[in-house]
Amino acid sequence: MKQYIEKLRNLHEEFFKFFLFFITLIILVYLFPHEGKFKYEYQKGKPWLHETLYATFDFPIYKSDLEIETEKESLKQEADFYFILDNEIGTKATSSFRKSVLSFFKDSLETDIPLEKKEDLMGHLISEGVDCLTDIYNTGVVNAEEIENLGKSHIVIRRNDGFSEDAEIKKIYTVAMAYSAAEEKAADMPERLKSFFIQSIEKELTYNLRFDKTKTEFEINEKLQQVSPTIGKIQKGEVIISTGNIIDENKLKLLDSYKIEFEKNIGKSGNMASLMGLILLVSVVLFTVFLFLRLFRPDVLSDNLKIAFLLLLIVLFVLLSKGIMRVSQLHLYLIPFCILPLIVRTFFDARLAQFIHICTILLIGYFAPNPFEFFLLQFLAGVVSIFSVLQLQRRSQLFNTSLVVFITYSVTYLSLFLLQEGSITNISGLNYGWFAGSALLTLLAYPLIYLFEKFFGFISDVTLMELADTNNTLLRKLSMKAPGTFQHSLQVANLAESVIREIGGEALLVRVGALYHDIGKIVAPHYFTENQTGALNPHSELSYEDSAKIIISHISDGIEIAKENKLPDQIIDFIRTHHGTSTTRYFFAMQKTNFPEIEVNELDFKYPGPLPYSKETAVLMMADSVEAASRSLEKYDEITINLFVDRIIDHQIKEMQFVNSPITFKDITTAKKIFKKQLMNIYHVRIAYPQV
C-alpha cells in the first residue's frame, strides 16, 4: 500500500495536467450552445450533394435579414411624422399685432388726416394683418431644418384641442415663407403702411409647429412590430431540396429556415444527448492538443504553467467569440483571431502556434455562422500572420502583419463571394469594415505580449532585443566598471551564439544570457584578472579561501543585481548556472599545495550551482570556460588550441556538469569544432597545411 501511495505522490504533476485539461473542458462545454447542430453543410450557388431532404415537421419559412430590413425601411418611409401645433402662439401674435397698429396710428400718422379716414385705414390694416397671421399660424410655422430631410410629402398635425389632420409639407410655412406671405399681403398698400405692416408681421413670427418625436417613434415601432419574420410554411413530408439541385436564393431560404427549427427541436427534445456529443467533441479536440504536445513539444507538456497559458488562450478566444455574437451590432469577424498565433509564436514556435490556432477556430466554428467561410478566412489569415512575423523583434513588424492580414481577409472573402453569388453587385462593404477593424486590433498583440511576459514569466524576442542593446543602463555600467569583463562577455556571446545556431536552440536567448552572465563582477571588478591592468594582484593579500569566496560571490551578486534591474528569470538562470557546481581550481590547488597539513574542505571552493538545465545554459558554460581560459595560453597555434578546448570541455563532462541538460555528445563535438575555429580566428592562428 505504501508503495502505491508513493507512486501517487510522485504523479502529482500529471494529476495537475489532467486537472488543467478537465477545467478547460468544463469551461468550454459551458460556453458552447447546448442545442444540437444541423448535420448538413451547404453553400449558396453550389449543388445539394446530400440525399433528398424531406421536412420531418411543419416549419415556417423565415425571411432573410435583408428582406426584413428592407421591409422595415419601407414601413419607416411610409410612417406618419407627427407635429404639434400650438394655437396659443397665433392668438398672442394677433393680439400683439393689434396693439402695434393702434400705437402706430396714435403716435405716428399725420394729424391732418381726417378721423374717419384714420379709422378706416386702421381697421383695414388690422383686418389684413389678423387675416395674414391667422392663416400663417393656423397652417403652422415650422423650423425648416425639421422638415427638409423627412423625405415625405405630408405630415400629421396634432392641435392643442385634440384634433389631428394631414397637411402637405409644401404648404406649411417656414419663417421665410411667412415673411413672403406678409409682403404679398401688403403689395397694394402705401409705402409707409407697407413697411410698417411687414415689419409688424415679421416681429410676430415664431415657430408654433414642433416635431412630436415621442408620438412618431411610437407609431413607427407599432408598425415595425407588425413585420412578420416569416413568409410561408412548409408542411411535414414536403421536399425541401432534391439531390443535385442548385442552392439558389429560395432554396437557401428553405434550408436556413429548416436548420433553425431543426436545431430548436433538438435543443428541446435531445438536450442530454446533445450535451454528451458536445462533451465528446471538445474532449477530442483537447486530447489532440495533448497528443501534439506529447509528440512534438514534450518540453511544453512538462511545464504546467505553459500548458495553462495555451489552454487559457483557447478559452479566452472562445469566450470572446461567444460574447460578441450576443451583441447584434457587432460581427464575429471583428475579433482579431490572428493575435492568438502571433502570441503563441512569440513564446514558442510556428508549428505549435498554427496548431493551437487551428484547434481554436475549429471549436469556434462549431457555433459560428457560415462555419466553412469562417474557418477558411481565419485559417489563411492565421498562417499569413505567422509567416509575416517569424521573429517578432520590432514593433513595426506588427503594422506589416496587420496590413497583410487585412489583404488576406479581403481577397479570401471576395473569392468566396464570387463563387457563391457569381458577381460583386451585392457584396457587403460592411464586412470589409469588420476585416479592417480586426486587422487594426491585431496591433494589440504587442501590449498583450508584454502582459503575458509579466504574468507568466515568459520572454519574447522583443524583450531579448532590448536587453541585447549594449547601450542599456546595466550593460553600460558593466562596460565602465569592469571593461575587461564586458569584452569577455561579448566574446562569450559570439562563441555561444555560433554554437547554438549550429546545434539548434534559441540563439538570441543565449546571446543575451552571455552578455549578463558575469554582471555580478561589477561589485568587485579588480579581483578578476580580465579587469586588472597593473602588476598588483589584490588576491596576493588574501587567503585562498577568501579569494575563492570573492570569486564565487559574483554568482550571488549577479543574481541580486539582475533582480534589482528586473531581468527575466530566463536570463538570471544563465547567471546561476554558468559555473554549475565546478570548483575554483586555481585557489583549490594552491591551498592543497601550500598547506598540505591542513585538511581542505572542497565545498569552500565549489560554486553553488545549479547545473545547466538546457542546451543554451550548457553551451554558455562551455563558451565561458573556453574563452576565459584561452587568455592564459602561452602559445596560440592550431595544436595548442585544439588540445586546450578538448581538455576544458572534457573536464566539465568528467565533473558531470551537463547531466541535467538535453545536450548530446554530438552537440558537444560540434561545439568543440566551432570553439576551436572561432578561437583561431580571434588569435589569428594560421591553419597548418600538410607538407607537399
Judge whether residue 185 has pLDDT over 90: no
Phi, psi of 141 (to 5 degrees): -110, 125
DSSP-assigned letters across all residues of 167-215: EEGGGSBPHHHHHHHHHHHTTTS-HHHHHHHHHHHHHH----EEE-HHH
Mean pLDDT over residues 508-518, rounded? Answer: 94
- Residue-wise pLDDT for 617-629, tens only, equals 999 999 999 998 8
Tell me the pLDDT band of 10, cut-offs 50, 70 and 90. low
CA gap 40, 38 in Å, rounded? 6
In 203-265, beta strands by DSSP E: 209-211, 230-234, 239-241
Taking only the tens place, the pLDDT of each residue in 354-363 is: 999 999 999 9
Task: Give pLDDT, residue 3.
Answer: 58
The pLDDT value given to residue 523 = 92
Least confident of 102-116, 218-232, 523-537: 102-116
101: confidence class by pLDDT, cuts 50, 70, 90: confident
Residue 688, pLDDT > 70, answer no
- Residue 514 near residue 619 (C-beta atoms within 8 A): no
| pLDDT for the residue 327 | 84
pLDDT band at 692 (very low <50, low <70, confident <90, very high): very low
Residue 335 has a pLDDT of: 93
Max Cα-Cα span within the chain: 151
CB 34 within 8 A of CB 275: yes
85: confidence class by pLDDT, cuts 50, 70, 90: confident
Length of the chain in residues, anyone?
A: 692
Segment 75-88 shows an average pLDDT of: 81
> Which of 2.60.40, 3.30.160, 3.40.50, 1.10.3210 is the CATH number of 461-682?
1.10.3210
178/632 Cα distance (integer angstroms): 107
Give the type of residue at 53: L
pLDDT over threshold 60, residue 295: yes
Range of weakest confidence among 41-50, 112-121, 163-172, 457-466: 112-121
Residue 170 DSSP one-character state: G
**Quick one: CA torsion of 679, 570, 399, 418, rounded to 10 degrees?**
110
3-class secondary structure, 688: coil
At 689 the pLDDT is 47
| Cell (9 digits) for 314 | 483557447
What band does 313 get if pLDDT is binned at 50, 70 and 90?
very high
What pLDDT is stored for residue 344 in this prediction?
93
* Mean pLDDT score across all residues of the chain: 85
Instruction: Write out pLDDT tens, residues 395-432.
Output: 567 788 889 999 999 999 999 888 877 677 777 788 88
Most confident residue range from 75-89, 183-197, 551-565, 578-592? 551-565
CB 207 within 8 A of CB 143: yes
Looking at residue 379, its pLDDT comes to: 95
Beta bridge partners of 54: 239
- Which pLDDT tens digit goes with each residue over 234-284? 888 888 888 888 888 888 888 888 887 887 776 554 467 778 888 999 999
- Give yes or no for residue 340 having a pLDDT over 90: yes
Q: Does the structure show a pLDDT above 80 at 1?
A: no
Determine the Cα–Cα distance for residues 252 and 643; give it in Å rounded to an integer. 79
- Contact between residue 605 and residue 596 where contact means Cβ atoms under 8 Å apart: no
496 membership: H or E segment, kind and range: helix 483-503
Average pLDDT over residues 610-614: 93
Lowest mean pLDDT across 176-190, 350-364, 678-692: 678-692
Average pLDDT over residues 55-75: 82
| Percent with pLDDT over 90 in the chain | 34
